[in-house]
Structure 1
Amino acid sequence: MRPFGIAGLQLQLAKGDNSERITAEVVAVKARMPWVEMVVLGELALFGASTADAQPMPGDAEAKMCEAARAAGVWLIPGTLFEQDGDRIYNTAPIIDPTGRVVDRYRKIYPFRPYEQGVSSGDRFVVFDVPDVGRFGLSICYDMWFPETIRTLAWMGAEVILHPGMTNTIDRETELAICRASAATNQVYFVDVNVAGPLGVGLSGVFGPGGEVIHQAGSGHEVMAFELDLDQVTRVRERGWQGLGQPLKSLRDTPIVFPPYAEGFSASPAFAGLGSLEKPLVERTERPEPGGGV
């Protein structure tokens, strides 16, 4: 077995500096459940969704999270925060090890456009290794709507996908379906942590490498503490979930080059005809003028 304890913190957070609250929650969960080795929070948990709160990285905000990881002795992905880098802003998740060292930072590749305005796209996929356990990959909220992102992380060897999100809209159930599908088609554990309260609707989830639901959270404050066995990923990839499909092997062994990747998505006439990426406006159907006669 390769067991590993993770706690997903679905916190009821508001906009503003949440660093003290997050630190207290991280230390508390480790004190209560010493077997937890990693803590993951939702997207934009540190300050909320205003780019006016963008922070430099490294900087004071990240340093507080490094101290929280060191105090609790856990791997910490404290959700994300808006990162100010020169004249650009990114939606960034730091990866902090139990000594308080920043191992890497992942910048969200697909900001939620056209709604997430003024945020630049990252250009690098990030995986990291937990020694003697396995390889983990980072994805942020809207990223997962593009299956190529999760597939790339699996191709890079990720066995667990950590997915901070901040969703407060009607499409949350659709997102949960994408989480399950991402887990099954890539034969990975998928750990989706949404925020609750004013910033999000909760409903976080943990899904296994067959797409099975390990845990489904409610809409309020919840500590999702669970233990994964990464040998299960190895077994599912070797034998198929319940001895059935082995999609990664089929993908590897079929020598097809997918046309969208060879030619580029913009080469598609169907895609070219979709129009510009902009917010929908009020739409009215035409009605006949009143008083018309035959």
Structure 2
Amino acid sequence: MKPLHITMIQMDIIKGDFDANCSTIEKLLQQATQPPDLLMLPEMWSVGFDYRRMKHHSQVLSKTLSFLNHLARHYHTVIMGGSVPESKGDRLFNTTYVLNPDGTTQDRYRKMHLVSQRHLEGKTFNRGNRIPLFQANDVPFGVANCYDIMFPETTRGIAQQGAQLVTVPAQYSSPFFDQWMTLLKARAMENQVFVAAVNRVGANYFGHSCIISPTGKMLFEANDQEQLIEFTLDADQVERKRAIRHHARQINEMALMKWVYPQNFIGVGGLVERDGRFLMVRQNYGRIKGYWLLPGGHLDKGEAPEVGAAREIMEETSVHTQALELLALRNLRVNGVVDSYQVYRMEDLGGEPVPDGFENTEAAFLTPDEIFNEKPVTHLAQAIVRKVLSGEKNGLQLQTDFIKHSEDYQLYL
């Protein structure tokens, strides 16, 4: 068991009155029955959303951090400091500081998703763009600030970095109680993490701070009154649940990058020559199903192109290779996404071609006559083989006379 003792301050917040809000925190902490490993405060606990004076509040950040420093050292605990206004030049951020037990700052998280349209938060603050990871008693955790929980990508990003706990400082208001409960449970279940959420109370705010298990079970739920919350969770439960079924490992990143969050692709292929023949595979899917082409595919995340080319050839044909030189570059723009395809001349290191039986149905070394006259071979594969057979060594040149699928298609040989 890896215990983590959490203390949360569910409090009313007096707009613009820093001293009064500090007094509330200190008064509630007097009720503590055990030293916490992690102390959590709600969003904008220091002055509330005092928009008219937000710039001023951000400029006295040192005073706020001094109070958090005092709490961290006095209780010898990690502090997830809710959030406070922070200025950086002309920009304002809704920022969460996390402090170590000695009062030093671990890191900070700037709220990424701001309530906009008819709400002043989006007009007042700038968005953060980084998801840091923090530690409390060797338990890795992250921060999703209030409205952030509406966006599953935030907590997914936290979990993908190895977090076992997502902390949520918030000022969720009364019309959104059902939303609050539903989103928190969903974020816990889909990422298989604990969620500890601390909300404010007071006029128009409902409190109901809570602790939720990696399976979405409500472990603790407060009422709508000011109170100190103490709870001990077993962080090892995260890995026990993931050992049974780890949802995040089933994510199809390639599909998401193409259809949900379009990003540029890098594909690789290889030309392998053996005794005057060239290695080809027969495609088993898509619009060119049944055609022969060079073996290849898209890079894995973080993979070097020349390494990816050798891997793809091995996976598709069982032939061992290594990259020698870049032969061709093809760029294609589709729906605002650029698919860039790099083709390498590969050194043949042996192995007989065997189709993978999934992406291709046949794998073989084809003669030039088979490639150009006898078999259905893609124009791109033919163009690359033709260039190699010509012996030209004039660098990569834009092929203006190549048969294109669209105006956004470019081939360099």
Q: Which segment drifts farther, 61-70 or 254-263?
A: 254-263
Counterpart position of 2:44: 44
Cα-to-partner distance string for 1:208-263 (whole Å, 9 max, x where unaligned): 000110111111112221001111001011114xxxxx312322xx4642112225
Match of 1:122 among 122, 128, 140: 128
Paired amino acid for 1:201: F
Correspondence list, 1:42-121, <5 A: 42-51=42-51, 52-53=53-54, 54-56=57-59, 59-114=62-117, 115=119, 116=121, 117-121=123-127
**Distance change >3 Å, CA 202–CA 223, structure 1 → 2:** same
Deviation at 1:172, TM superposition (A): 2.1
Counterpart position of 2:141: 136
Whole-angstrom CA distance in 2 between matches of 1:72 and 1:4: 15
For the pair 1:153 / 2:138, whether they are aligned, the reply is no
Whole-angstrom CA distance in 2 between matches of 1:75 and 1:56: 24
Contact between 1:6 and 1:226, CA under 8 Å: does it hold in 2? yes
* TM-score (norm: length of structure 1): 0.81
Name which one, 1 or 2, has greater alpha-carbon Rg.
Answer: 2
Q: Which segment drifts farther, 165-174 or 228-237?
A: 165-174
Q: SS of the residue aligned with 2:262?
A: helix
**Distance change >3 Å, CA 247–CA 57, structure 1 → 2:** farther
TM-align CA RMSD: 2.0
Cα-to-partner distance string for 1:135-175 (whole Å, 9 max, x where unaligned): 11011000110111110110111110010000224012112
Match of 1:257 among 255, 258, 261: 255
Q: In structure 1, list runs of 5 or more residues that go unmatched.
A: 241-245, 269-294
Whole-angstrom CA distance in 1 between matches of 2:247 and 2:208: 28
Q: Which segment drifts farther, 254-263 or 70-79?
A: 254-263
* TM-score (norm: length of structure 2): 0.59
Q: SS of the residue aligned with 1:122?
A: coil
Whole-angstrom CA distance in 1 between matches of 2:231 and 2:104: 24
Deviation at 1:56, TM superposition (A): 3.7
Q: Which has the higher contact order (CA 8 A, sep 6+)?
A: 1
Contact between 2:37 and 2:136, CA under 8 Å: does it hold in 1? no
Q: SS of the residue aligned with 1:65?
A: helix
**Distance change >3 Å, CA 44–CA 58, structure 1 → 2:** closer
Counterpart position of 2:193: 188
Question: How many residues in Structure 1 have an aligned counterpart in Structure 2?
Answer: 256
Q: SS of the residue aligned with 1:63?
A: helix
Q: Report percent identity of matched pairs.
A: 25
Whole-angstrom CA distance in 1 between matches of 2:104 and 2:24: 18
Contact between 2:5 and 2:36, CA under 8 Å: does it hold in 1? yes
Contact between 2:174 and 2:204, CA under 8 Å: does it hold in 1? no
